[in-house]
Structure 1
Amino acid sequence: MTDPDPHMPRPRRRPVRPSADRVRRLAELGEWHRDWVARHADTAGFHPDEHPTPGSDYNLHHVDLDAPSAAQDEFHARARQIMGLD
């Protein structure tokens, strides 16, 4: 058997449709995220000083909000339950 030609593209894998259970879990996760954001949006901080590059327009095109750590813990704990990880 010879090694594959490194210049040839790798064969593409056929896409696999996620299971109905995974689709349901992801939809539930989306709903959880929407509810969580609605409850915690007012507590999330915006810190433009963390991107102080002179001349950068980062803060015009990107929004990085950080919810309090307790809120993030709440989100991740429920997300793990929804996805069947806990």
Structure 2
Amino acid sequence: MSIYIDTSFFLSIVFEDTNYKQSYETWMKDEYRFSSKLIEVESFINIHKVYRENRKVLNKRWLDESLTRQRELLTGINLKKNRL
């Protein structure tokens, strides 16, 4: 089955938020994942935003691990160019 991955769904997996379990199960059962190339930029910006806003409780290691997880997960998505 195909599934379109939007940024909020993607970030729920990266951040392991309250919807993580359900999102990850959906991620694992779908063989063809696709998204806009914007997911790369949008998720990168959001990861840095969360880090910046929570710098007192999050360390640099959290940022590095989140960006590594983002890159690993992106390899499982077929990215499409946006057409204007």
TM-score after normalising by structure 2: 0.33
1 or 2, which has the higher helix percentage? 2
Q: Compare CA radii of gyration and give the structure with the larger one.
A: 1
TM-score after normalising by structure 1: 0.32
